[in-house]
């Protein structure tokens, strides 16, 4: 049995691979998986690539090729809350798709047909991550994470999302796809992201400058959470 860790970009998994030290690598359908030990747990780290389909494919491969008990989605996110700062941690209480709209057929905005409106993150993992963060120096919030196949760089984009989904705390491009696959496989999951930019405030510049910091913070907090698991 092992714990799955999924990041979209090489920068988002680099510090995990360094922490693993020795590991075995496997490739399935052009996706690479790294198996080793972290915080006294067997883990499999996966590089998904960016976007919803890449995340869903990678999560499915992870759960079908390895005996995974829990899944963490980690990396960076854009802040959609004015109270957030670059480097802060966002723990997802729930995830949803901000770019799905099938209301013409009676579904709610953001709801994929035959799926829940939102995907609730595992309460036990959320509690452990909260405990780890309360013992750290990092600022954090627990809130709703919005997923879509767009990098949200403009203020008007975030305003549209917030108008439709007022609870949105952060935006990114993979989390809800990971959550949906885990939901369908009945695997507990948690999204732990670090804020790399504030949506609408020079997001593309901030993202490049602070991605490394965000990756470090997310890695640190996931390691601390695993120690409590």
State the catalytic residues.
12, 197
3-class SS of residue 1: coil
DSSP 25-79: EEEETTEEEEEEEETTEEEEEEE--SSHHHHHHHHHHHHHHS-EEEEEEEEEEEE
* DSSP state for residue 122 in the 8-state scheme: P
User: Is 1 among the annotated ligand-binding positions?
Assistant: no
Q: At what angle do helices 123-134 and 203-228 cross, to 10 degrees?
A: 100
Distance CA 137, CA 188 (A): 27
Q: 3-state SS string over 181-226?
A: HHHHHCCCEEEEEEEEEECCCCHHHHHHHHHHHHHHHHHHHHHHHH
User: Is 78 among the annotated ligand-binding positions?
Assistant: yes
User: Is 173 among the annotated ligand-binding positions?
Assistant: yes
Do 227 and 39 contact (CB within 8 A), yes or no?
A: yes
Provide the 10 A C-beta neighbour count for residue 33: 21
User: Is 152 among the annotated ligand-binding positions?
Assistant: yes
Burial pattern 175-197, b for ≥16 Cβ within 10 A else e, equals: bbbbbbbbbeeebbbbbbbbbbb
């Amino acid at each position: 049995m092992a714990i799955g860790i999924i990041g979209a970009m090489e920068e988002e998994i680099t510090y995990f691979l360094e922490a693993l030290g020795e590991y075995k690598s496997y490739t399935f359908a052009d996706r690479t998986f790294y198996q080793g030990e972290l915080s006294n747990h067997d883990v499999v780290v996966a590089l998904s690539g960016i976007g919803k389909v890449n995340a869903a494919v990678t999560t499915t491969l992870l759960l079908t090729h390895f005996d995974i008990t829990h899944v963490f989605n980690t990396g960076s996110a854009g802040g959609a809350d004015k109270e957030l700062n670059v480097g802060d941690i966002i723990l997802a209480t729930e995830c949803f798709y901000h770019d799905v709209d099938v209301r013409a057929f009676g579904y709610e905005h953001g709801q994929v047909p035959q799926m829940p409106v939102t995907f609730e993150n595992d309460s036990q993992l959320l509690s452990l991550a909260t405990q780890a963060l309360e013992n750290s120096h990092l600022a954090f919030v627990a809130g709703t994470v919005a997923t879509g196949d767009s990098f949200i760089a403009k203020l008007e984009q975030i305003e549209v999302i917030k108008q439709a989904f007022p609870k949105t705390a952060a935006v990114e491009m993979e989390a809800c796809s990971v959550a949906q696959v885990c939901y369908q496989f009945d695997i507990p999951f948690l999204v732990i992201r670090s804020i790399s930019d504030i949506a609408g405030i020079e997001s593309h510049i901030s993202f490049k400058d602070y991605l490394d910091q965000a990756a470090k913070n997310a890695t640190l907090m996931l390691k601390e959470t695993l120690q409590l698991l």
